Amino acid sequence: FAARQVSRSAFGLAQRRAFSASASNATKVAVLGSTGGIGQPLSLLLKLNPRVSELALYDIVGAPGVAADISHINTKSNVKGYSPDGDGLKGCLSGAEIVLVPAGVPRKPGMTRDDLFNTNASIVRDLAKAAAEHCPDAAMLIISNPVNSTVAITREVFKNKGVYNPKKLFGVTTLDVVRASRFISQHKNTDPANENIVVVGGHSGQTIVPLLSQSGYSLEGKDLDDYVYRVQFGGDEVVKAKDGKGSATLSMAMAGARFAESLLKAAQGQKGVIEPTYVDSPLFKDQGCDFFASNVTLGPNGVEEIHPVGKLTDHEQGLLDKCLVDLKGNIEKGTNWVKENP
Ligand code: NAD
Ligand code: LMR
C-alpha cells in the first residue's frame, strides 16, 4: 500500500512538473489600451496566468502606472508599461506572440457599436500598422468595437504591409458565449459551468446568433424570443446600467483572458482546444461575409479548423439569414474605410 502511495505521488509530481514545464514556455503578451476599463482587469488576469512570461502594457495614458501596480503581484512574469513617447509602441510589440487590443471608446446609452466606428477605426488601424511592423507573426485579438468592422480593418492593414496571416487574426466574441451560457443557466436553473452554448455570426445585435438547439434546448415562443434578445443585446443591458460610464469591462476582461489562455494552451501543444471566435472563414464567403464567428479548433499556428455552424432549426436559420445581411455591410464598411484611409 505504502509503495502504491509513493508511486502515485511520484506520478502526481511528474504530472505537475510536466504541467509547469509547458506552462513556463516563454510567451510575451501585449495589451494595447491597458489603462482602460477592460485593459486593467484583463492585464491583471494575464498576470495571474503562468503561461505568460512577459506582459507588455501600452496605452496613450497611464500604462507605466498600471504596469508598476500589477508587477508587484507574486507571479513570475515580468511586466512593463509603455507610453507613446519615443519607441514605446515598438518596445511593447517587439517579440509579442499575442496582442490583445481593447483600445478605443466604449458606447454610451442610445449608441450602437457601429456609432463607435468613426473614432475607433483609426485607433485600430494605427495600432494594427504598428503590430504589422513590429510583430507581424503575433496572434491579433481584436476587442475594440465595432468588432465586425475592426477585424476587417486589421486584415486590410496587414495585407497592405504584406504580412496578413488569416490564421492569426481573431475577433474576440467569447463574451457572447459566456453570456449565452450564463443566461440559459439562469433560465433552466443549471450550473453555468456545464453550459457551453454555441453562438455564431458576429458581435453586434442581430449578427449575434445563439444556437440553443445544439445544446439540446428547445425554448418556444416568448421564452425563446426573450432569450435570443438577451444574448443579442446583453451588451446594451450593461451600457444602460452603467448609465454613461461605459460598457462591459469586467466580464469582457474575463472573456478576453479566457480566449488568450486557450490560444496559449494550443500554442503550447494542448490538443482539442476549441473556442468560438470571429475569423477569416470560408463558411459564408459566397454571401459576402469574409469573416464569421463559429467554433474554431486552435493550434500552435492559430486557427487549425473552422467548425461549420451545424444543424439549425428554422428559427435559427431565420436569425442567421438576418445576421448575414448586417455582417456583410459591417465587413465592407471596415474594408472600404481602409482603402480610403490607408
Ligand atoms: P475605456 O475607455 O475604459 O478604455 C479604452 C482605453 O483605450 C483607454 O485607456 C484609452 O486611453 C485607450 N486608448 C485610446 N486610444 C488609444 C490608442 N491609440 N492607443 C492605445 N490606447 C488607446 O474603454 P473600455 O470599456 O475598456 O472598452 C474598450 C473597447 O472595447 C471599446 O471599443 C468597447 O466597445 C470594446 N468592447 C468590446 C467587447 C467585445 O466583446 N469585443 C466587450 C466590451 C467592450
Ligand atoms: C459588449 O458586448 O458588452 C461589448 O461589445 C460592449 C458594448 O458596446 O456592448
Query: 26-75, pLDDT tens digit by residue?
Result: 899 999 999 999 999 999 999 999 999 999 999 999 999 999 999 999 99
Pocket probe for ligand 1: among 141, 247, 279, the residue whose CB has the most ligand atoms within 8 Å is 247
- Cβ of residue 230 lying under 6 Å from some atom of ligand 2: no
The predicted structure's pLDDT at residue 52: 97
The predicted structure's pLDDT at residue 241: 98
Q: Where are the alpha helices (DSSP H) in 145-244?
A: 147-160, 174-188, 221-232, 234-242
Cβ(165)–Cβ(124) under 8 Å? no
Place of cell 468588432: 147
Beta bridge partners of 302: 299
How close is the Cα of 146 to the center of ligand 1, in Å?
A: 11
Tell which atom from ligand 1 comes closest to the C-alpha of 247: 25
Pocket probe for ligand 1: among 42, 144, 154, the residue whose CB has the most ligand atoms within 8 Å is 144
- Cβ of residue 247 lying under 6 Å from some atom of ligand 2: yes
Q: Nearest ligand to the C-alpha of residue 38?
A: 1
Atom 2 of ligand 1 has which residue's CA nearest to it?
105
| 296 contact partners, CB below 8 Å, separation of at least 6 | 274, 275, 276, 277, 279, 303, 304, 305, 306, 307
Task: Report the relative pairing of strands 208-211 and 198-201 from DSSP bridges.
Answer: antiparallel
The predicted structure's pLDDT at residue 23: 43
Q: Nearest ligand to the C-alpha of residue 112?
A: 2
By the 10 Å C-beta count (0-12 exposed, 13-18 middle, 19+ buried), 104 is classed as buried
The predicted structure's pLDDT at residue 218: 87
Q: Nearest ligand to the C-alpha of residue 254?
A: 1
Please choose, from the candidates 310, 276, 318, 274, the residue with its C-alpha nearest in 3D space to the C-alpha of residue 293.
Answer: 276
How close is the Cα of 129 to the center of ligand 2, in Å?
A: 24
Render 93-121 in DSSP notation, one character per residue. Answer: HTT-SEEEE--SPPP-TT--GGGGHHHHH
The predicted structure's pLDDT at residue 25: 67
- Cβ of residue 42 lying under 6 Å from some atom of ligand 1: no
- Cβ of residue 38 lying under 6 Å from some atom of ligand 2: no
Atom 8 of ligand 1 has which residue's CA nearest to it?
36
Would the pTM count as exceeding 0.90? yes
Measured distance CA(129)–CA(276) in Å, rounded: 26
Q: Nearest ligand to the C-alpha of residue 150?
A: 1
Which long-range contacts (C-beta less than 8 Å, at least 24 apart) are formed by 191-200?
198/276, 198/294, 198/295, 198/309, 198/310, 199/173, 199/231, 199/276, 199/293, 200/276, 200/292, 200/293, 200/294, 200/309, 200/320, 200/323
Give the count of alpha carbons within 13 A of 25, CB side only. Answer: 15
By the 10 Å C-beta count (0-12 exposed, 13-18 middle, 19+ buried), 175 is classed as buried
The predicted structure's pLDDT at residue 320: 98
Give catalytic residues, as residue numbers: 203
The stretches in the chain having pLDDT less than 70 are 1-25
How close is the Cα of 143 to the center of ligand 1, in Å?
A: 8
How close is the Cα of 173 to the center of ligand 2, in Å?
A: 10
Alpha carbon distances (Å) from 52 to 48, 130, 260, 300, 323 = 8, 22, 10, 15, 36
- Cβ of residue 172 lying under 6 Å from some atom of ligand 1: yes
Please choose, from the candidates 135, 124, 127, 33, the residue with its C-alpha nearest in 3D space to the C-alpha of residue 93.
Answer: 135
- Cβ of residue 36 lying under 6 Å from some atom of ligand 1: yes
Atom 4 of ligand 2 has which residue's CA nearest to it?
235
Alpha carbon distances (Å) from 118 to 31, 32, 46, 104, 229 = 22, 19, 30, 11, 26
Q: ipTM higher than 0.95? A: yes
How many degrees, rounded to 5, is the angle at CA 275 between CA 271 and CA 278?
Answer: 130
How close is the Cα of 103 to the center of ligand 1, in Å?
A: 4
